[in-house]
Amino acid sequence: MDKIVIMLELQQQLNDSTNGKDWTSGVSKNSKEINWKRCIYMECAEMIDSFAWKHWKNIDAQPDWDNLKIEVVDVWHFILSLAIEENTKHGQLGFEDLANEICSVSSYAATTKQNESYSTQKEIIEQVEFLMLDALKREGFTLFAMMEHFFTLVKMSGLDIVSLYRLYVGKNILNQFRQDHGYKDGTYIKVWNGQEDNVVMKHIWEVDGDIAPELLYEKLQEKYENLEA
């Protein structure tokens, strides 16, 4: 449960930073409509492109499992955002209580066991489409039905809660680090001494698999400050 709480907190911080403090009202600080469900089903479409699903093109291509995992994490960003938004509008539970509700979803239990096995391409695509159908519902939508399908997808994609957490935190913190160091205005340096920043971040996780998010940020800061001219 602690990992879910941390991810909720990080998502709140990221959304506050990028969309403004009132983003849960459904409008960004730039007066743009925020539609997390649309974000989810559009990201799901990208997830399906991890596979050679087209019967007319690249029919022998192998699945891109690494990209699948990245897309699963991207969808998770949006589901967390939707959960926080729904909670603000209807419940106002603390994050620990909200995390308890998320962990009560029956398919979550399977993600607590170490997992590196994949389901078949057909099974995964079908599961992704269940998520899309959830996001496209005009009536009868329930967040926890979506969570049910999502955690099933996590397991089918060779992930578990630990690997999902590490991928999520790594991407979240790196995105925040980029924003804090000139990503928007083009001054950010993405290649660090011959390695892309995401590779450097991954190496930090490999050294310490239990590193706290704030310490991960500090490690990135230390390496960024010591780039070779």
Task: Tell me the average pLDDT across 164-174.
Answer: 91
Residue 68 has pLDDT above 80, yes or no: yes
For residue 223, the SS3 value is helix
| Segment 175-214, tens digit of pLDDT | 889 888 988 788 999 999 888 888 888 888 888 888 888 9
Domain ranges of the chain: 2-164, 189-229
Separation between Cα atoms, residue 224 and residue 144, nearest integer Å: 40
Please give the span between the terminal C-alpha atoms of the chain, in angstroms, as a whole number: 43
Of 48, 18, 45, nearest in space to 34 by CA: 18
Instruction: Give the model's pLDDT for residue 179.
Output: 83
Task: Tell me the average pLDDT across 129-154.
Answer: 95
Of 70, 71, 101, nearest in space to 83 by CA: 101
Instruction: Give the model's pLDDT for residue 201.
Output: 86
% residues pLDDT > 70 (the chain) = 100
Of 42, 56, 32, 73, nearest in space to 164 by CA: 73
Domain 2-164, CATH number (from 2.60.120.370, 3.40.980.10, 1.10.4010.10, 3.40.50.1220): 1.10.4010.10
Task: Tell me the average pLDDT across 16-35.
Answer: 91
Separation between Cα atoms, residue 190 and residue 91, nearest integer Å: 40
| Segment 30-55, tens digit of pLDDT | 899 999 999 999 999 999 999 999 99
Instruction: Give the model's pLDDT for residue 229.
Output: 59
| Segment 76-118, tens digit of pLDDT | 999 999 999 999 988 788 999 999 999 999 999 999 999 889 9
